[in-house]
Structure 1
């Protein structure tokens, strides 16, 4: 396991990008749950954010691909709107311990 961040750097309803071992990841804090995914659109194979740490739509209800606007569920990474319905973001196993977010890289 590797330390990704502390919870105080990932407030509720925010997202943040990370680079660990040449792997681009991002984390979302939604309703007290931390969700971590590879920063890679399953449709185009490009990074998702439109500017650093901006992975969420304006209402902060979905992960949004900046390239083509696809919307992904924060809970499971499934594309629910856009050109790749049913495709999934790659989830990264994470654990929160003592106010720290830890991940297991693939």
Structure 2
């Protein structure tokens, strides 16, 4: 597993982008749980964020693609609105321990 960041570097209801060995990822924290996905919209294969580390909609309750406005559930990456409805983001296996957040890439 590869080290992503310290736990305190990903606040609740926030998102952050990463580049691990050339693989573009992003992480979202909701409460005690961290979700990690590939930074690639299933619609066009583009990166999701408007600006660095901005992967969430205005309410911080959904992941939003900046290109066409598709909305994805934080918990499982399913697209619930937009041109890729029914498709999903690619989840990345992750775990959190006393040192921080780790991913399998």
Q: Which TM class, normalised by the smaller chain length?
A: over 0.9
Q: State the distance in 1 between where 2:65 and 2:74 align.
A: 12
Structure 1: where are the runs of 5+ without partners? none
Equivalent residues in 2 for 1:76-91 (5 A)? Answer: 76-91=76-91
Partner of 1:24: 24
Runs of 4+ in 1 over 4 A off after TM superposition: none
- Structure 1 CA distance, aligned partners of 2:46 and 2:85? 17
Residues matched between the structures, number: 105
Partner of 1:40: 40
Structure 1 residue 97 displacement after superposition: 0.8
Structure 2 gap segments, 5+ residues each: none
Deviations 1:50-95 (A, max 9, x none): 0000000000000000000000000000000001111010000000
- The alignment's C-alpha RMSD in Å is 0.6
